[in-house]
Amino acid sequence: MTVWENVDGVLSNRVDYATSKRPAALALGDIDGDGDLDIGIGSADMYLETTSLLYNDGAGRFAEAISFRMGFSNVLFADLDEDGREELIAGTNGNGSAVVVTDDLVQYLQNR
């Protein structure tokens, strides 16, 4: 995934980020409620089964992708429980399943 900064109307300061293989969908949302848009990426690769989340550092840069072993090709953000932090909702095209990822779950998985 590549992000360019808009500097006075000119796309500049290109930064490439490693994400899930064969990214198929991208969504912006604020999963940690800090006011900065984070990025969720779904994958079209059913074998590698990765969905990625990149936290915004508040300065327009993103932390290294956190990848989950779940092969969901569609992603979106919505604040399902109205706590001010959006959840990442990921769904498949194939088997009709979906998961909801919260910031609390990500922090738990990162710190165990």
Question: 57 vs 94, which CB is nearer to Ca ion?
Answer: 57
Q: Minimum distance from CB of 12 to Ca ion (Å)?
A: 23
Question: Does residue 81 belong to the site contacting Ca ion (CB under 5 A)?
Answer: yes
Residue count at the site for Ca ion (CB under 5 A)?
9
Judged by CB under 5 A, the chain residues 4 through 63 that form the site for Ca ion are: 30, 32, 34, 36, 38
Rg, the chain, Cα only: 14
Which residues have C-beta within 8 Å of that of residue 35, sequence separation ≥ 6? none
Question: Does residue 104 belong to the site contacting Ca ion (CB under 5 A)?
Answer: no
Query: What distance in Å separates the CA atoms of residue 104 and residue 111, rounded to the nearest whole number?
Result: 11
User: Which among 7-15, 43-51, 75-83, 89-97 is the span making contact with Ca ion, rule CB under 5 A?
Assistant: 75-83
Q: Minimum distance from CB of 54 to Ca ion (Å)?
A: 10
- DSSP readout, 39-97? EEEEES-TTT--EEEE-B-SSS-BPPPEEES---SEEEEE-TT-SSSPEEEEE-SSS--
- Give contact residues for Ca ion (rule: CB under 5 A): 30, 32, 34, 36, 38, 79, 81, 83, 85
